[in-house]
């Protein structure tokens, strides 16, 4: 047998070593055939932690809630983007008010955190030295969801401070920034249409007091006297009260009947019943019928209270191109407004923001459909096919809206990674144990401040989505949607609380 020279063997081994080195480092070689990287202690620890969380959450799914209701749950590690746990993540469910997560995210992306709503006053005339405006005054709404009576007073008072004592022409109100559909899409509850609860207020470019009225009721001085029924914000001819409320004995119970009668643009409240003598005043909040008419009437009342004379009338129309800005009232930044929207789940703010999103920064006429198109574009940019979801409005007040838990977590993960809007988005969510819809929950010292979330509830639906910080400091995005609930939301809320507690307690009482 022929022996191979030693020098040749050395050369062969050298070539083999060189080939192995090239094989391991050549970037052209697919990663799937490269030598595996060593597993670090940190990776092993994370894998163990994930396995432990999965075991704990799997135990939770044995609750009968998961058998009797439709449930979707997704938990994602924000650092890695890894789906740590999922159950029914591809199930299409009603999100209720967790829909506002999408509305807030798309608005921050499209309009920016510093966007401000503006209500502008224009004129086509000149103001004389003696305070007479020879022309018309125009008030153009910009959809400001935070326009309240105090700000309206300031808008009118500023006219007086600027020297306006008399207006020869008309005061014209322009609500063309939004389309003419004022009702929240996707909600046609007969009871709500009749009663007009505050959460179902109409939408408008010219809006005031969240398009609700506060009826203030208090007893008279003595038993049998008529009780006092007044409007917090007078709007003559548009909102009226007919009261038969009387003052009862001190031992009597408060008994108030409130009927809401809509006649075109006008709404009348018929108040009946009694209030105990010497009892405190009470407030009832109801929605108005027509936002523009309400704004116009309240504005006219403020003009009269400031002593400004108007020779013309109060009309509706559009601002002519030749008119110039005379004064304006701007809102707080969008980031601040979204805090009120999400923390307190304001349907009105969500729908106003959605239509403004549809108008865009160019100021075109906004509509619900245009706003939903912007949200859809955003979801598609995250890789979510349009066929997987159904969007109806921006507030979630609809049984036709359909989302999957992984749609919500995709948005939450994206927002957390976007340094331009992440702080503002996270700040908009309620803080567990501190404020908003979560102020009374997760108040234990180990839980408080470690959850930021958005709740969502309509009949048979209870949802929670947001961010949670584990005991080791690792943060997660989650969405936990429950539909087809029987007998109230208590069981779903308890399941949500147990889910959160499980994650917050992981590592506190036992190691993974």
Q: Which strands sit side by side in the sheet containing 126-127, from one edge to the other?
A: 126-127, 132-134, 166-167, 309-310
Nearest Cα to Cα of residue 366 among 125, 142, 99, 187 = 142
For residue 405, the tally of other CB atoms under 10 A from its CB is: 29
203, two tokens? 């939408």
Q: Quick count: other Cβ atoms within 10 Å of Cβ 90?
A: 12
Mean pLDDT of the chain: 91
User: In the 3-class helix/strand/coil scheme, how is 452-499 assigned residue by residue?
Assistant: EEEEEEECCEEEEEEEEECCCCCEEEEEEEEECCCCCCHHHHHHHHHH
> What's the burial of 3, exposed, middle or buried (CB within 10 Å: 0-12/13-18/19+)?
exposed
Q: Given the structure tokens 């601002």, which residue do they identify?
A: 319
DSSP label of 116: -
Task: For the full predicted model, state whether its pTM sits above 0.95.
Answer: no
pLDDT for 174-184, tens place per residue? Answer: 999 999 999 99
Q: Identify the structural domains of the chain with CATH numbers, from first to last.
A: 47-114+334-505 (3.40.710.10), 117-331 (3.50.80.20)
pLDDT band at 50 (very low <50, low <70, confident <90, very high): confident
Residue 287 region by backbone torsions, left for phi larger than 0, else alpha for psi between -120 and 50, else beta? beta
- Rounded to an integer, what is the distance from CA 448 to the centroid of its chain? 22
Q: Which residues contact 385 (CB under 8 A, 6 or more apart)?
A: none
What is the spatial distance between Cα 301 and Cα 487, in angstroms, rounded to a whole number?
47
pLDDT in tens, 244-301: 999 999 999 999 999 999 999 999 999 999 999 999 999 999 999 999 999 999 999 9
pLDDT at position 98, please?
98
What pLDDT digit, counting tens, does each position of 22-41 carry?
334 444 334 444 445 555 55
């Amino acid at each position: 047998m022929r022996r191979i020279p030693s020098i040749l063997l050395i050369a062969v081994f050298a070539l083999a070593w060189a080939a192995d080195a090239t094989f391991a480092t050549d970037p052209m070689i697919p990663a799937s055939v490269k030598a595996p990287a060593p597993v670090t202690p940190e990776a092993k620890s994370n894998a163990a932690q994930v396995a432990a969380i999965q075991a704990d959450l799997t135990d939770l799914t044995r609750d009968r809630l998961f058998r009797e209701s439709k449930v979707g749950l997704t938990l994602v590690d924000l650092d890695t983007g890894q789906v740590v746990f999922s159950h029914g993540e591809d199930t299409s469910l009603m999100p209720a008010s967790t829909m506002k997560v999408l509305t807030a995210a798309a608005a921050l992306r499209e309009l920016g955190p510093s966007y401000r709503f503006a209500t502008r006053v224009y004129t086509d005339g000149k103001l004389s030295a003696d305070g007479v405006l020879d022309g018309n005054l125009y008030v153009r709404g910009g959809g400001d969801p935070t326009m309240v009576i105090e700000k309206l007073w300031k808008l009118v008072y500023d006219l007086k401070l600027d020297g306006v004592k008399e207006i020869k022409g008309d005061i014209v109100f322009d609500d063309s920034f939004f389309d003419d559909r004022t009702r929240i899409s996707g909600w046609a509850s007969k009871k709500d249409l009749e009663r007009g609860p505050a959460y179902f207020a109409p939408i408008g470019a010219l809006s005031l007091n969240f398009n609700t009225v506060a009826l203030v009721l208090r007893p008279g001085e003595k038993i049998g006297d008529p009780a006092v029924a007044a409007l917090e914000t007078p709007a003559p001819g548009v909102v009226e009260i007919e009261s038969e409320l009387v003052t009862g004995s001190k031992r009597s119970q408060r008994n108030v009947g409130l009927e809401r009668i809509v006649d075109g643009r006008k709404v009348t409240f018929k108040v009946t019943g009694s209030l105990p003598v010497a009892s405190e005043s009470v407030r009832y909040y109801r929605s108005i019928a027509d936002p523009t008419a309400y704004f116009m009437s309240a504005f006219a009342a403020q003009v009269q209270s400031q002593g400004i004379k108007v020779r013309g009338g109060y009309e509706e129309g559009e601002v002519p191109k030749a008119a110039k800005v005379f004064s304006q009232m701007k809102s707080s930044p969008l980031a601040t407004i979204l805090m009120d929207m999400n923390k307190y789940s304001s349907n009105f703010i969500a729908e106003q923001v959605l239509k403004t999103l549809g108008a865009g920064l160019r100021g075109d006429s906004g509509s619900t459909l245009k706003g939903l198109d912007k949200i859809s574009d955003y979801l598609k940019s995250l890789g979510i096919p349009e066929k997987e979801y159904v969007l109806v409005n921006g507030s979630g007040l609809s049984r036709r809206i359909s989302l999957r838990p992984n749609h919500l977590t995709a948005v939450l993960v994206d927002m957390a990674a976007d340094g331009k809007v992440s702080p503002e988005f996270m700040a908009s969510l309620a803080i567990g144990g501190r404020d908003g819809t979560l102020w009374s929950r997760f108040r234990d010292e180990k839980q408080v401040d470690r959850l930021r979330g958005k709740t969502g509830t309509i009949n048979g639906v209870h949802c929670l989505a947001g961010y949670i910080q584990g005991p080791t400091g690792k943060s997660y995005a989650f969405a936990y949607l429950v539909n087809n609930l029987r007998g109230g939301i208590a069981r779903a809320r308890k399941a949500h609380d147990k889910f959160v507690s499980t994650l917050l307690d992981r590592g506190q009482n036992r190691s993974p």
